Chain A
């Protein structure tokens, strides 16, 4: 049980790190009015946040392992 919990914590931490980084990129892109900022938002921010959400959802369904 403890091992499963720590594995979940580890995944939550990875998820949180990805989401944090992604949101930071999105915030930075939002403060910059330039076509490149849209690319940064779409090609770095969205994939990072998306990956973080996927890892979080995986951590939920894999807690029973």
Chain B
């Protein structure tokens, strides 16, 4: 099966061949066929290749491997393999409560209008800091804003395990209004905890 990445590469490859024909002999555009070739090679196909390529890059940026390709994120990737069900990120990753190949994105995007754009903008900011700023130590990385329960409830709200929990039922309104945070209200507050990775066991199955 042809992947989007291969399709983009094929479109770019075809464009390169056609552009080379014009680059080597621009006089080809003097004829009607040459003008049609010029329209395809220098307008339509490059435009298509750029749009498809951009879309491909945006999709790829959702991949766990993409996020973990930055050195600073290594401990966060490692925290997904912690052998302790109290580690929230590890429990979600290992039990496939989130797609394992889009683990970071699934929990760290905003499930709101323009959330995808906002998360990409934050990603660009991270790259900017990495190259032109002073990147913090992995354990010193914090969220820009407190984690919004909306991101948890996007999946859990309506799920039987959530709805039938007496604690969740008792706190439902507080959780929905973010008055009590899922991850810092004393319930699920062990998330990545990268500072303590030296003293925990790791599940080998995730590697």
Contact = CB atoms under 8 A, between A and B. Distances in A.
A26 B19 contact: no
A56 B9 contact: no
Interface residues of B, number: 39
Contacts of B159: none
Interface of A: 5, 8-10, 12-13, 15-17, 19-20, 22-24, 26-27, 29-31, 33-39, 41-42, 45-46, 49-50, 52-53, 56-57
18 contacts: A9-B26, A9-B27, A12-B22, A12-B29, A13-B23, A20-B20, A22-B46, A26-B49, A30-B9, A33-B69, A34-B66, A35-B61, A35-B69, A35-B123, A42-B57, A45-B53, A49-B49, A53-B47
Interface in B19-64: 19-20, 22-23, 26-27, 29-30, 38, 41-43, 46-47, 49-50, 53-54, 56-57, 60-61, 63
B63 A12 contact: no
Q: Interface SS of chain B: helix, strand, loop or mixed?
A: helix
Given A34-B69, A39-B127, 9 more contacts: A9-B29, A16-B20, A20-B16, A23-B16, A27-B13, A35-B123, A35-B127, A35-B130, A45-B53
B15 interface: yes
A19 B30 CA distance: 19
B26 A26 contact: no
Q: Interface SS of chain A: helix, strand, loop or mixed?
A: helix
Contact of B26 (A10, A20, A35): A10
Interface in B117-136: 123-124, 126-127, 130
A50 B23 CA distance: 17
B34 to A, nearest CB: 9
B5 A30 contact: yes
Nearest to B44: A53
Given A13-B23, A34-B69, A45-B50, A26 B12 contact: yes
A16 B42 contact: yes
Contacts of A20: 16, 19-20, 23
B141 to A, nearest CB: 15
B57 A41 contact: yes
A55 to B, nearest CB: 8
B64 to A, nearest CB: 11
Contacts of B42: 12, 15-16, 19, 52-53, 56
A15 B13 CA distance: 17
B8 interface: yes
Contacts of A24: 16
A10 B26 CA distance: 7
